[in-house]
Amino acid sequence: MVDIANRHDKTVTAEKRETVERRPVPRWMITLASVAALLVVWEIFGRRINPVFGSYPSAIAVAFWELAVSGQLWSALYESLRPFVLGYALAILIGVPLGLFIGGFRIAEAALGFYITAGYAMPLVALVPLLILWLGLGFAVKVAVVFLMSLFPICINTWLGVTAVPKTLIEVGKSFVAPDTVILRRIILPATLPYIMAGIRLAVGRAVVGMVIAEFFTTISGLGAVIINSANNFDTATMFVPIIILMVMAIGLNWLIGFVERRVAPWQAEISGRDRD
């Protein structure tokens, strides 16, 4: 009797163990561990290197503190963000409709498509001196560089997205006698949204690079100026501060865009099963 009861108990606990759900490690924990590991390794090896040739996290943190306290960092950040935000916003406002137009109309694709493809490969750094001749050394040229860097990935992605819209969905519109403009706005645009958001994400990195390039070539100002000045003074630790800030900013923007995407196109995340965690 006892034996049987014991055996019974065992099976019960075994079943229980199976039904206990194994919770996966949260994403943020994995990210945090990865960052911590990188910082530790960097600190250990960075300290062995001549501070002119490299730096390490604690030295960069000290430099950050000094820049922040002196107020230099904040004014530089503000200087940089103004042309960045304007150029990037303009690229979205123009790139998305342009991509929809090129993808949606055969004639537009044939007439304009290859300019966009060529523009994406345009060596913009080489053209900055020319842009300076046109727009001067101030705010406008910085906006133009950021705009031109981020316009093409946004436009190309939107265009590709339009061509990837299933033909049958457009036929649904046609069979209910929807006019072309309604098909574009109510079928093609929402079906293209995931591609548009991917293009906007890709453009973040290029816009940041464009901003720094503009600051190097034109009036030395903003975060680009902090980089150049500290590099000229062989102050490598200070040089890393704006570089890291820019990278962190790109990550933040990327996250923000992802957040917006889940808001405006929730069905996409739901379909792919990425709406959780």
Partner 1 sequence: MGEVTFLDVSKRFSLRVDGEVHQVQALDRVSFTVNDGEIVALIGPSGCGKTTALRVAMGLDPSTGGRVTVDGREINGCGHDRGMVFQHAELLPWLSARQNVMFGLEMKGMRGQLLLETAEKYLNLVGLKDSQNRRPHQLSGGMKQRVGIARALAIDPKVLLMDEPFGALDAQTRETLQAELLDIHARTGKTILFVTHDLDEAVIIADRIVVMKNGRVQEIMSVPLKRPRPDLGLVRGMPEFAETRYKVWRALHDGATVH
d(Cα 154, Cα 214) in Å, to the nearest integer?
20
Q: How far is the CB of 177 from partner 1 (least distance, A)?
A: 5
Residue 105, Cα to own-chain centre: how many angstroms? 29
Minimum Å gap between C-beta 182 and partner 1 is: 7
CB of 196 to partner 1, least distance (A): 13
CB of 27 to partner 1, least distance (A): 23
Q: By C-beta, is 169 or 231 nearer to partner 1?
A: 169
Shortest Cβ 153–partner 1 spacing (Å): 24
Task: Look up residue 107 and give its two tokens.
Answer: 């004639």
Closest approach, Cβ 180 to partner 1, in A, equals: 12
Q: Using the minimum distance from each CB to partner 1, give the nearer residue, 196 or 214.
A: 196
Identify which of residues 188 and 227 has a Cβ nearer to partner 1 in the complex.
Answer: 188
Q: Which is nearer to partner 1, 191 or 243 (CB)?
A: 191
Q: Residues interacting with partner 1, by CB under 8 A?
A: 168-169, 171-178, 182, 186-187, 190-191, 193, 265, 267, 270-271
Nearer to partner 1, 165 or 214 (CB): 165
- C-beta of 22 vs 167, nearer to partner 1: 167
Residue 261 makes CB contacts below 8 A (sequence gap 6+) with 193, 194, 197, 268, 269
Q: Provide, rounded to whole angstroms, the least separation between the CB of residue 267 and partner 1.
A: 5
Measured from the CB atom, is 34 or 163 closer to partner 1?
Answer: 163
- Reading the block at residue 114, the tokens are 């290859």
83: Cβ–Cβ under 8 A, 6 or more apart, which residues? 139, 142, 143, 146, 211, 214
Measured distance CA(220)–CA(30) in Å, rounded? 39
